[in-house]
Structure 1
Amino acid sequence: MKLVVVGDALLDVDVEGVVARVCPDAPAPVLDVTAEHARAGGAALAAAFARADGLDVTLVGAVADDEDGRRLRALVEVPAVLGGSTSATPVKTRLRSGGTSVARVDRGGGPGGPEVTDEMLDAVAAADFVLVSDYGRGLVRDRRLRAVLARRPVVWDPHPRGPAPTPDARLVTPNLAEASAFAGTSDPYAAAEALRDRWRARAVVVTMGCRGVLLHQGGTPVVVPAPKITVTDPCGAGDRFAATAAARLAAGAAPDDAVAAGVAAAADFLARGGVDGLRDGVSTVDKSDALSTVDAVRARGGVVVATGGCFDLLHAGHVRTLTAARALGDCLVVCLNSDASVRRLKGPGRPVTGQDDRAELLRALDCVDEVRVFDDDTPQRALRELRPDVWVKGGDYSAESLPEAELVRGWGGRTVVVPYHRGRSTTGILARRT
């Protein structure tokens, strides 16, 4: 399966520093620069995401022959067919401190525009599937290119300054602000319906950030919720979503399945640090050393709390215990017994609920920040890896009687017991049903 990503490649630069003072002559923060990181953004980032997923990917775009353009070409991580451009290479520079953008400086673009070559057209014509990643720089306005795109199966990620997608696009993926501007309404349902008709697309999905996405492919729209994560910088999430959705559609998935996969991939990308996890290229995005919830809490001096158990049939006693545990710190990690572990502890009839569903239910609770599944009979190895500041159990015994107490004390942590809720247990619920 050959995927071609067509669109505008940008040069993204992050200037990192520390803000500890304000200008004496203006109410502006002073950024003392400590580092600078550059990467290929825009369509080049979307293509890199697709390649990291194992696809055969080629980037088709246009880059100016200027200093920034040469720097951008060197940073592109996938095979590319790049024409020239008579306008300056677009550069987006973010000034950042403590993981937050202080300001963004844009340059490039201007008079002129991209030049579409026969080689670029041939690369698109040879594609099995195409992702159009439009950043409003004029490339996909080209008449010859649009004629080729109209004959290929396409997912189109539009831009307010760009043209309409070619007719019969498999999926068009505007965000809510873009869809509202295109359709003239802030109602995502009305916008998706109007744009699907106007663009003669097979499906339109409106991405809505933490509210998830809304898919309209005729009939009743489908809403796919987004996982609960803390997001400080959503940069790159749209490219991650579009690349995954295109890959799944290209592999034959139904639109709703492709969109759901895109939502999950974008959420995972942000949970692992977003663009801050791309310092050495997109291939690092799935490494375990990317910034996790626990890492982020520790980086700011917060308290990591952990608890553990089977949580086979989630009930009020569980929720009360988890809520009490979360109140003891800045994040709560649940160490969850795997299905094999539960069977060894509880017998062949357990668990009633599989580990994936149990983990999903726990993650849906506001008091739970992360779930880690372990396969041992006890959580001790999981605890050694996590090293929480506070280990919490619910029960009618003392903290010091717990077998994990000495282990946790070894790295300076403490063990806490929260109230036990009599009459509320999975065993009791199952007994009453029989």
Structure 2
Amino acid sequence: MESEVIEALFNKTVLVVGDLMLDRFVYGAVDRISPEAPIPVLRFREEVAMLGGAGNVACNIAALNGRAVLVGATGDDAEGSYISEVLCPASQIEARLVRSENYATTVKTRYVCEGQQILRLDREETLLDVASLERIRSTVREAIDDADALILSDYAKGSLTPDSIRAHIKAANEAGVPVIVDPKSRDYSLYRNADVITPNANEAAAATGHDCSTDEGAGHAARKILQDFRIGAVLITRGAQGMTLLAPMSGVEQPFHIRTKGSSVYDVSGAGDTVIATLSLAISAGIDIKVAAQLANSAAGIVVGKLGTAVVSADELVRAVAGTADMSFCRTREQTVAQVRQWRNEGLKVGFANGCFDLVHPGHVALLRQARDQCDRLVVALNADASVRRLKGGNRPIQDQYSRAAVIGSLRSVDLVTLFDEDTPLELIKLIRPDVLIKGDDYAIQDVIGGELVQQWGGQVYLVPLEKGHSTTNIIARSEGAVVG
């Protein structure tokens, strides 16, 4: 049933209108103070750029297999071109962006050393020219009939003015398309006739005067928002306290408090974007708003367990809703590369081990424990089910890939689990570039896949002494009553 609920979100079209920004992260190391002033000198290592603001909302929709149509403004500059020509296509976002010669693309650049921001530089303008605003309105009017939901993602950077907000809501109301708003203004009368509004606790408190740190206070704030501003429903996101939903028109006549599902909170960046994306897809699919809010809460619980601005995949949400396991340690290939980059920028040594790990036995546990002794962070790559079948035969694996990932990820020695479909992990090794490549001593160093590459870039291949008498093949044979010599 859980997978059917998530699959209902697939291919729904969500029109995201709002403030776009480019999030840049400049990573480096500090090993001296400038002779020119008492400030640290950041020695450059690398720079990463990603979509922020309304763009991150659209990324979350696309990651959940929805169709994201993104409308907003950028400057007629290099950053605007990078957003429209590189980042949007890479995230499978349909971009319908206005390029303005009188406006600069919003850019937030964070300078990071050993995992800590030492400076953030913002380049932004909050006044968009009238002609560009009218082009955004025209684009929304053209696209609204094909949309299943409209999100207004307001970051107060100029793409949403009071007049344009009212115009977008009116167009959606006339088309019968639900409107979900992430507000920035304290004047919620701007959002009148929206179907759902999703303020965070601070925003709701500022708009209503009610402290939202308690269930009672959040309930009072929710009631005031609905009573004063003629909005259909409110979902207040409250961080570690979870969420509070009030939706009388949908049968939720008393404040409904949803507890957070995040087991480990690493970074809350973009969690609100994940919430509104998931909620909007669920509403567009006709899912009951209480269930939709619970889905959004599950998605938020996943994303706060990841470093940096992140998204939630459909597979991750299925597992979270099913309650199979905390899979925050099991990452996609792209997420793994990003996490390894983060660790490396913190000066940590990264190790890499791989295998099927079908039936985990003491030999596996010992191997991974010794592997972790060789590095600061250990990545374990598991052969996906199709890969195991090709290598081991049609009767394997005994446990599916997510069950195997849950077991391996629960080991204290393992920091991250990822899956690979290929017969060997060579492509993954090339992407991750581990400092230490670990295998059992039943291999010779020259036979370790990727070993030569790792040594070429200055890394190490380490062979772990294996404990005798332990193997998955032996365990299976014993369970079938066979004797293995």
Scaled by the length of structure 2, the TM-score of the pair is 0.59
1:117-128 counterparts in 2 under 5 A? 117=134, 119=138, 122-123=141-142, 126=145, 127-128=147-148
User: Which 10-residue stretch deviates more, 263-272 or 133-142?
Assistant: 263-272
**TM-aligned CA distance change 1:9 to 1:334, over 3 Å:** closer
- Map 1:14-413; keep pairs closer than 5 Å: 19-24=30-35, 26-31=37-42, 41-47=52-58, 50=61, 55=67, 57-60=69-72, 74=81, 76-77=83-84, 78-80=95-97, 91-98=106-113, 101-106=117-122, 108-109=124-125, 117=134, 119=138, 122-123=141-142, 126=145, 127-137=147-157, 139=160, 141-142=162-163, 144-145=166-167, 147-148=169-170, 151=173, 152-159=177-184, 163=188, 166=191, 172-175=197-200, 178=203, 183-187=210-214, 189=215, 193-200=219-226, 201-202=232-233, 204=235, 206=237, 208=239, 214=243, 216=245, 218=252, 221-223=257-259, 225-226=261-262, 236=270, 238-239=272-273, 242-252=276-286, 254-255=291-292, 256-257=294-295, 260-261=298-299, 264=302, 270=308, 288=334, 291-297=337-343, 300=347, 302-306=349-353, 308-312=355-359, 322-323=368-369, 325-339=371-385, 353-373=399-419, 389-391=436-438, 399=441, 402-403=442-443, 407-408=447-448, 411=455, 412-413=460-461
Partner of 1:291, secondary structure, is helix
User: Alpha carbons of 1:45 and 1:84: their partners in 2 closer, same or farther (altered >3 Å)?
Assistant: farther
Match of 2:463 in 1: 415
- The size of the alignment, in residue pairs, is 400
Moved more, 176-185 or 325-334: 176-185
- Using a 3 Å threshold, how does the CA distance of structure 1 residues 107 and 193 change in structure 2: closer, same or farther? same
Cα separation, partners in 2 of 1:207 and 1:319, compared to 1, 3 Å: farther
Q: How big is each residue's C-alpha offset from its partner over 1:171-218, in whole Å with a ceiling of 9 and x where there is no partner? A: 54445654665652334x55654454343454626273xx69647465
Question: Match for 1:291: what amino acid?
Answer: V
In 1, distance between residues paired with 2:364 and 2:180?
43
In structure 1, what residue type is equivalent to 2:18? G
Q: Which amino acid letter does the alignment assign opposite residue 391 of structure 1? A: I
Distance across 2 between alignment mates of 1:38 and 1:376 = 28
Using the alignment, how far apart are the partners of 2:166 and 2:379 within structure 1? 54
Structure 1: any 5+ residue segments left out of the alignment? 275-285, 394-398
- Shift in Å, 1:55: 2.0
Q: For residues 356 and 12 of structure 1, do their structure 2 counterparts lie closer, same or farther at Cα, with a shift above 3 Å needed?
A: closer
- Identify if the C-alpha distance between structure 1 residues 57 and 339 changes in structure 2 by more than 3 Å, giving closer, same or farther: closer
Partner of 1:283: none
**Relative to structure 1, is the Cα distance of residues 418 and 373 closer, same or farther in structure 2, using a 3 angstrom cutoff?**
same
Instruction: Summarize the Cα distance change of 1:418–1:173 in structure 2 as closer, same or farther, 3 Å threshold.
Output: farther
Q: Per the alignment, in what secondary structure is the counterpart of residue 375 of structure 2?
A: coil
Amino acid at match of 2:97: A
Distance 1:34 1:343, change over 3 A: closer
1:132-167 Cα distance to aligned partner (Å, 9 max, x none): 111135735337337517724123223365636846
Provide the C-alpha distance between the structure 2 equivalents of 1:70 and 1:106, rounded to a whole number of angstroms: 16
Q: Is the 8 A contact 1:241 1:262 kept in 2?
A: yes
Equivalent pair of 2:381/2:418 in contact (CA under 8 Å):
yes
The amino acid of 2:223's aligned partner reads D
Asked whether the equivalents of residues 240 and 266 of structure 1 are also in contact (C-alpha less than 8 Å), the reply is no
Structure 1 position 123, deviation (Å): 4.5
Contact 2:242 2:259 in 1 (8 A): yes
Q: Distance in 2 between matches of 1:310 and 1:59?
A: 46
1: CA distance between counterparts of 2:121 and 2:433?
A: 41
How far residue 40 of structure 1 moved from its aligned partner, in angstroms, is 6.7
Contact 1:179 1:191 in 2 (8 A): no
1:90-111: CA deviation from partner (whole Å, max 9, x where unpaired): 8444252557532223455578
In 2, Cα distance between the equivalents of 1:269 and 1:363? 17
Q: Which amino acid aligns with 2:181?
A: W
Contact 2:389 2:397 in 1 (8 A): yes
Tell me the distance in 2 between the aligned counterparts of 1:229 and 1:382: 30
Contact 1:359 1:371 in 2 (8 A): yes
Measured in 1, the distance between the counterparts of 2:35 and 2:205 equals: 41
- Which amino acid in the other structure matches residue 103 of structure 1? L
What SS does structure 2 have at the residue aligned with 1:368?
Answer: coil
Counterpart residue identity of residue 463, structure 2? T
| CA positional deviation for 1:427 | 4.5
| Distance in 1 (alpha carbons) for counterparts of 2:172 and 2:311 | 36
Over the matched positions of the two proteins, sequence identity in percent amounts to 27
1:258 deviation in Å? Answer: 5.1
Give CA deviations for 1:23-80 in whole Å, capped at 9, x if unaligned. Answer: 457543345789988877433453466568662514146x7xxxx5666654552113
Going from structure 1 to structure 2, the CA distance change for 1:91 and 1:368 (only over 3 Å counts) comes to: same
State the alpha-carbon separation in 1 of the partners of residues 415 and 46 from structure 2: 31
Contact 1:10 1:72 in 2 (8 A): no
Residues 228 and 367 (structure 1), Cα distance of their counterparts in 2 relative to 1, 3 Å cut? farther
